[in-house]
A and B are shown apart, each in its own frame.
Chain A
Amino acid sequence: MRLMNSKPSRSVRLILNLLPFVLLLIIYTVASDARLLENPSDKLLPSWSSFADAVQRMAFEPSKRTGEYLLWADTGASLERLFFGVGISALIGLVLGVINGMLPLFRATLSPLVTAISLIPPMAILPILFIVFGLGELSKVMLIIIGICPILIRDLQLRTQSLPAEQLLKAQTLGANTWQIMIRVVLPQVLPPLLSAVRLTLGSAWLFLIAGEAIAATEGLGYRIFLIRRYLAMDVILPYVLWIAVLAFLMDTILRLISKRAFPWYHGKGGEE
């Protein structure tokens, strides 16, 4: 049988899914053991026990200096910034995207501006954000917004414009005005694409979050990683990175489930995953 036609069974697929992860773990363990055997104080590839110690210290023991449980304090601070940044971006993206996509007069005015802003690398204006918005929360949230908002606006605009013209004409023959068509015909149909656009931009949002925290913050996952980098504390950095990956995965899964539950018509046959 041709390779392209051979499909794994359910159980084989599960094994194949897990295989690369298991391999990575084995390779790490072997490499770490080899280095530690040569030099027990090696910091680059810590042993599993030092990871356990580090996690115990960061997550389940109060910090000696502040009395906080650092991992949870960092997670809370980071997630708060991320939620505000992504939430505000999604809201702006939805409103401006639908308006741009539906109303030619607004599109003519706003679309070139959005395109121009989206061409600016957000990291390049990070210093400006710190100068204008200070070193507090606002500048980090603004970095996320400036980073992902133009993408969301443009995606939603395209989604709105790609609604079949027949639908919009039909709605007009049903006596609807522009506003009614916007809220009853267009808005509900671009909500599922908004959720998938948010899922896709979450990666960038994390990037801007960590970058912002690395430069100016007093807590946060990105702040912690960059702080302890000075001590080559890989036993803390690696669990933090893994934790960020888990959080990102959970967010993606939650958004996907919300979309499936809330918009069955979008995920039915002919719809998108």
Chain B
Amino acid sequence: MTDPFIKNTVEPIIEIKQVWKEYGDHIVLEKLNLNVQAGEFISIVGASGCGKTTLLNMLLGTEDHSRGDVLLDGEPMPKEPNATRGIVFQKYSAFPHLNALENVMLGAEFAKAPFFGKVLGKQRKEIKEKALEMLTAVGLGHAAAKYPSELSGGMQQRLAIAQALIKEPRILLLDEPFGALDPGIRKDMHKLVRELWQKRGLTIFMITHDLSEGFSLGSRVWVLDKPRIDPQQPERYGAQVVYDIALNSAQAIPSTIQTLIEKEATAKDAVQENTHE
């Protein structure tokens, strides 16, 4: 597969070279060859169970690949999660026992207090100011003293983003971050994420079930699917990135995908109309 960004001479932030992921005989992902430049926003779409989450977990460091190389800045990807890659899950990202401000401060405190995990005095004041700034940036300045359980779903996701951003990660992984939100709130969140991405020069990987969300937010879309299927032995072949679409280039969206998006959009409209009735 040719990468539209390969002509770029800048070192890619992530390189995926001939990567396979298999559990015994079960092949999940095969022959992945992908380069990602810093500052790209990659939407990962595909059917359920086709390995989107496995791919994200490999980037997070919780799952190892079976063959090939995954490189971060030219070095092998660390085998466990660390502060270079922030993550926002669909839920449970915020800590229920800390209020919003403390949730955001936590990341900064970890760096300053290896033994107590808690910072006091002047340092704490500095961290607090930074955390408040971050909360304000995601639109939660007014809710600093609230516990996550007192926040709505959208606000909890904003909090999870602020929490990740205080570590200033270069890579942000989003695992269906807006899957549980109402359509209206989703739109606000899209705006927020687009803003943060552009302002902070983040590299973002986002898994989504919502094709139109993937296409409207991302600068590049990976469509995962199994190009070959053995009906007798479905686990024989793994998923690949069947389409790698750079959205800011002039490249046309393949007609099959275009129809898929349109189909989904009309289905969603129908649902919304139904709910209005």
Q: Is A164 in contact with B110, judged by CB distance below 8 angstroms?
A: no
A166 lies within 8 A of B92 (CB) = yes
- Judging by beta carbons under 8 Å apart, are A173 and B169 in contact? yes
Bound CA span A183–B215, Å = 41
Chain B nearest CB from A109 CB (Å) reads 22
Mostly helix, strand, loop or mixed at chain B's interface? loop
Contact with B along A174-202 (1 / 0, CB 8 A): 11110110011100110000000000000
Q: Is B76 an interface residue (CB 8 A)?
A: no
- B residues near A171, Cβ cutoff 8 Å: 95, 106, 110
B77 at the interface (CB under 8 A from A): no
Chain B nearest Cβ from A160, distance in angstroms? 14
* Partner of A180 from B85, B91, B110, B150 at Cβ < 8 Å: B110
Q: Is there a chain B Cβ closer than 8 Å to A63's Cβ?
A: no
A8 within 8 A of B: no
**Contact call A185/B95, Cβ cutoff below 8 A:** yes
Give the total of A residues in contact with B, Cβ under 8 Å: 27
Residues of B within 8 A of A183 (CB): 116-117
Residues of A within 8 A of B169 (CB): 173
Residues of A within 8 A of B110 (CB): 171, 174-177, 180, 184
Query: Per-position contact with A for B102-138: 1 when CB-CB < 8 Å, else 0?
Result: 0000110111011111100000000000000000000
Give the interface segment out of A21-29, A85-93, A238-246, A261-269. Answer: A261-269
The verdict on B83 contacting chain A, using a C-beta distance below 8 Å, is yes
Is A173 touching B114 in the complex (CB atoms < 8 A)?
Answer: no
Q: Is the CB of A268 within 8 A of B81?
A: no
> How many residues in B have their beta carbons less than 8 Å from beta carbons of A?
37
Quick one: which of A215-273 are within 8 Å of B by CB?
263-266, 268-271
Interface-centre pick from B81, B97, B116 (highest chain A CB count, 10 A): B97
B32 beta carbon closer than 8 Å to chain A = no
Q: List 27 A-B contacts (CB under 8 A).
A: A169-B62, A170-B87, A170-B92, A170-B95, A170-B163, A171-B106, A171-B110, A172-B81, A173-B60, A173-B164, A173-B167, A174-B106, A175-B107, A177-B114, A180-B110, A180-B113, A180-B114, A183-B116, A184-B110, A184-B118, A189-B96, A263-B97, A265-B147, A266-B96, A268-B147, A268-B149, A270-B149
